[in-house]
Amino acid sequence: MKVKKYHAPSMAEAMKKVRVELGDNAVILNSKVIHKGGFLGLFKKKNIEVIAAIDPEAKVGKPEPKEFKKELQNIEIPKITQNVVPTESGQTKETSEKVEKELSELKQMIQTLSSKSPYAHFSLEIQEILLYLQNHDVNVALLNRLGKFLEGKTEQNSQSNELNKELFIKWSKYFIRNEIKEFPHGGIQYNKKYVNVIGPTGVGKTTTLAKMAAEAVIENRKKIGFITTDTYRIAAIEQLKTYAQLLSVPVEVVYKISDFEKAKEKFADYDLVFIDTAGRNFREAKYVHDLNEIINFNEEMESFLVLSLTSKERDLQSIIAQFSTITIDRFIFTKLDETSSYGTMFNLMTEYKTGAAYVTTGQSVPEDIKEVDSEMLTNLLFEGLEP
Ligand SMILES: Nc1nc2c(ncn2[C@@H]2O[C@H](COP(=O)(O)OP(=O)(O)OP(=O)(O)O)[C@@H](O)[C@H]2O)c(=O)[nH]1
Ligand SMILES: [Mg+2]
């Protein structure tokens, strides 16, 4: 049994190294993203680490998982004699004990990894794709379904001699896109008068609303107004007023539902009204209740839940649960520029059966926003795997 660690700037390059050195029957035990070098924690380089193994005496074809595990248990750890006299290189009893301990830990690690790796039984081509997506934090359930789908495709096309990486990527994209295709995606539909952004604090609600409003005014020539219900911070009203001034459009500040009704009259002959809301701690159940006290959600309204991709997935799930009493039309995923992991978007869309409207890619208004659909999102996810 030969076990080796490989480092490369991308998953594709790491897999190439594995293939060249260990051949097509290698098994990937683990892969992770590591950050190397840098100064004071900055400018670190992203690196992929892959641990791969091969049994040179194994029959051609992939090893059965059970056999493979048994073989791992039989890895010989070289016995290092105790009480070693210091050698010329200065090796002492302590260092040899340390080496033995490290070897034993390594064996333990390999055993744990191999028993945990849910993908070791797939072919190398499938593993490469699954591990790439795993690094993007795509969840295990989705990956297992994809693995089985790719296995089925491999069987159907077993006679073909064109089973190359491009084909596996094409099949994977087809599968992933299909998982999210049925949900409505895309930006403002322009068929409802009110557009509303809600979400936790600091995720980019106001900035994103300004970007959406700018598109409505500049590209679609719509007559728009703003409503802000964010009366918790003076600065929040000023922030929205600044964007409104840039677009030469009015802002109404709304404290209670009667103010909302007045603003509605004021904007009677407007095409679109963009509503900004206060970000609140999503753990406070009262937040959603308060929103219902100010905004009349019975109006013709498109509601977007703004989620930052820099948040933990578990927190995003709690946020979505908190907003379950409000009809969310689509998600907006912000701060794409601050993460290299896009899987969370797919996990949430499939879990909550909700599509996405936009991704935002920076602080600049109005340019750092992109309208999305299932094809664009899928291409984005696979960007780093394309040859
Ligand atoms: N890097 C990055 N920063 C962003 C993006 N969108 C917004 N921001 C920044 O995130 C910070 C918060 O943005 P806001 O629009 O004020 O967020 P908010 O959700 O309205 O915040 P509250 O109203 O306080 O809840 C600002 O510094 C924005 O410039 C993005 O796509 N990428
Ligand atoms: Mg805000």
Closest-lying ligand 1 atom to the alpha carbon of residue 306:
19
Q: How confident is the model at residue 119 (pLDDT cuts 50, 70, 90)?
A: confident
Distant-in-sequence, close-in-space partners of 343: CB < 8 Å, separation ≥ 6: 133, 136, 137, 138, 139, 381
Q: How far apart are the CA of 6 and the centre of ligand 2, in A?
A: 45
Residues 208-213, mean pLDDT to the nearest whole number: 97
Give the mutation target among 203, 240, 340 for probing the ligand 1 site: most ligand atoms within 8 A of CB: 203
What's the gap between Cα 163 and its chain centre? 28
Mean per-residue pLDDT of the chain: 84
Q: In what order do the strands lie in the sheet with 2-8?
A: 2-8, 45-54, 27-36
- Number of Cβ within 10 Å of residue 167's Cβ equals 16
Residues 69-115 have pLDDT tens digits of 454 455 454 444 444 445 555 556 677 777 777 777 776 665 555 55
Sequence-distant (≥ 6) Cβ neighbours of residue 235 within 8 angstroms: none
> Does 151 score more than 90 pLDDT?
yes
Please state which of the ranges 24-33, 64-73, 179-188, 330-339 shows the lowest mean pLDDT.
Answer: 64-73
State the closest ligand 1 atom to the C-alpha of 199, by its place in the atom list counted from 1. Answer: 19
pTM: 0.76
User: CA–CA distance from 7 to each of 16, 34, 36, 122 (Å)?
Assistant: 11, 9, 11, 22
DSSP conformation class of 328: -
Domain ranges for the chain: 1-121, 194-371
* Whether the Cβ atoms of residue 118 and residue 130 lie closer than 8 Å to each other: no
Question: What are 276-331's pLDDT values in tens digits?
Answer: 988 777 677 777 777 878 888 777 899 999 999 999 999 999 999 988 888 899 99
Residues in the chain: 387
For residue 304, which ligand has an atom nearest its CA? 1
Range in 27-36, 232-241, 378-387 the model is least confident about: 27-36
Query: Euclidean distance between the first and final Cα of the chain, in Å?
Result: 30
- Higher local confidence (pLDDT), 234 or 108: 234
332 alpha carbon to ligand 1 midpoint, in Å?
12
pLDDT value of position 387: 64
Q: Copy the structure tokens of residue 346.
A: 């797919």
CA dihedral (52, 56, 62, 63) positive or negative: negative
Pocket residues: Cβ below 6 A from ligand 1: 201-207, 230, 236, 278-279, 334-335, 337-338, 360-363, 368
Residues forming a β-bridge with 52: 4, 28
Q: How far apart are CA 272 and CA 226, in angstroms?
A: 9
CA 299, 304, 308 angle in degrees (round to 5)? 155
CA of 242 to the centre of ligand 1 (A): 15
> Residue 236 CA: which ligand 1 atom is closest?
23
Residues 314, 315, 316, 318: what is their CA dihedral angle, to the nearest 10 degrees? 90
Looking at the CA of 205, which ligand is closest?
1
Q: Which of 203, 206, 207, 369 to mutate to test the pocket of ligand 1 (most atoms within 8 A of CB)?
A: 207
Q: Is the CB of residue 26 less than 8 Å from the CB of residue 123?
A: no
Calculate how far, in angstroms, residue 205's C-alpha sits from the geometric centre of ligand 2.
5
> From ligand 1's centre to the CA of 21, what distance in Å?
47
Q: Read off φ and ψ for residue 211, nearest 5 degrees.
A: -65, -45
Nearest to 274 by CA among 234, 236, 304, 319: 304
Percent of the chain with pLDDT strictly greater than 90: 51
- Ligand 1 centroid from CA 204, angstroms: 3
Give 373 Cα–ligand 2 centroid separation in angstroms: 26
Report CA-CA distances (Å) from 127 to 52, 70, 94, 217: 11, 21, 40, 47
Give the pLDDT band of residue 256 (cuts 50, 70, 90): confident
- What residue's CA is closest to ligand 1, atom 10? 204
Joined tokens for residue 9: 């700037």
Nearest residue CA, atom 26 of ligand 1?
204
Q: pLDDT value at position 345? A: 98
Structural contact between residues 304 and 189, judged by C-beta atoms closer than 8 angstroms: no
- 238 C-alpha vs ligand 2 centroid, how far in Å? 10
Which of ligand 1's atoms lies nearest the C-alpha of 334? Answer: 31
Closest CA to 195 of 205, 204, 185: 205
Which atom, in ligand 1's list, is nearest to the CA of 359?
A: 31
- In CATH, the number for domain 194-371 is 3.40.50.300
Alpha helices in 200-254 (DSSP H): 205-214, 234-247
